[in-house]
Amino acid sequence: MHFIDEAGITVRAGDGGRGCVSFRREKYVPRGGPDGGNGGRGGSVILKVSRHLSTLLDFRYRTIFKAKRGQHGMGKGRHGKNADDLVIPVPPGTIVTEVETGAVLADLTHAGETVVAAAGGRGGRGNAMFATSTNQAPEHAQPGTPGEERRLRLVLKLIAQVGLVGLPNAGKSTLLSRISRARPKIADYPFTTLSPVLGVVRHRDDEFVVADLPGLIEGAHRGAGLGDRFLKHAERTEALVHVVDASYPPEALAGAYRVVREEMEKFRPELAARPTLLAFNKMDVTGARESAERARRLLKFPKEDAYYISAVTGEGITALLDGLVALRRRPTS
């Protein structure tokens, strides 16, 4: 399945039905009064969060959504039926913005949460509503008002408590497959992960969602490599795990860490300020432990937040998860 995290759509609510001009026509009643009914309300277009969706893929194939108009009023006091609302499911984490004004209409995060994207038109009043003591036979009714029409931009930001960040091929996908049931594509070349992947992690008495975010490279905030498209998915996270491939010399490891940190800071400084654990991966490689420890000292990274793991063999994974649970429970300043 393709991961689509941005889409543009047009929503058009239904017009209100027009009111009816009608008079009673009954035998032996020479002057029947007005009995024109009101028009029905037009259907609104509503966006509703569905927990069964995880991408905006559906909006690639359909971009225009129209609700039905309200039924027109009828004689004998019969009112037009209100049109049904058009409900459009969207994934959790969808931000809805009006294109013309740039105003954010909603940030939809919880299952069942809704926003009226376009309000249906009001039904017109029939001539029965205009009867007065001085005008007992009104010959006019109201037309229905038109429904709203809007162009919207939908942006999906994944909802995950923990984000895995790091240069391409650092081992984030293998780590996620080790700690959860997620099965991201894994291969020995850069940019294996071309879209974010979510996995639910259960450890001790805690449960949280981890996102494997596509690898960053120098210049990502300007569009290099996969660009900053996926950096936004780290914005909702409570904590980050920075994964580094420890099979290189200490200076290279420190440099790899700094590249990613700088890209996050340039994209959004508060993102780089998230509580972070440093996971030196590939401890199954000879000399990796010594190289990682020297790199940690070069970076002056806190010893208690650095972990030495092998996503392939499972070494150090339990300790890393213990650290993540503790990190999420730390009081925020």
The C-alpha R_g of the chain, in whole angstroms, comes to 29
Residue 224 clears pLDDT 50, i.e. is over it: no
Phi and psi, residue 278, nearest 5°: -105, 120
pLDDT tens-digit profile of 39-87? Answer: 999 999 999 999 888 788 889 889 999 999 999 999 999 999 999 999 9
Q: What does the mean pLDDT of the chain come to?
A: 87
Mean pLDDT for 172-188 is: 72
Q: Residue 31's pLDDT is what?
A: 59
Neighbours of 66 (CB within 10 A): 16
Contacts of 173 (CB under 8 A, 6+ apart): 184, 185, 186, 192, 193, 197, 212
**Hey, what CATH topology would domain 162-329 get?**
Rossmann fold (3.40.50)
- Kindly state the percentage of the chain with pLDDT values over 90: 58
DSSP β-bridge partners for residue 190: none
Residues 292 and 145: their CA atoms lie apart, in Å, by 68
269 — phi, psi (to 5°)? -55, -35
Sketch the domain layout of the chain as residue ranges. 1-156, 162-329
Please name the CATH architecture into which domain 1-156 falls.
Answer: Distorted Sandwich (2.70)
Do 177 and 38 form a contact (C-beta atoms < 8 A)? no
Q: Residue 146 is encoded by which pair of tokens?
A: 């038109």
Parallel, antiparallel, or unpaired for β 86-90 and 45-49?
A: parallel
**Residues 84, 68: contact at Cβ < 8 Å?**
yes
Instruction: Give 193's pLDDT tier (boundaries 50, 70, 90).
Output: very low
Contact in structure between 41 and 84 (CB atoms under 8 Å): no
Helices (H), 275-333: 288-299, 317-329
Of 67, 71, 88, 65, residue with least CA distance to 13 = 67
pTM for the model stands at: 0.69
The predicted pLDDT at position 195 comes to 59
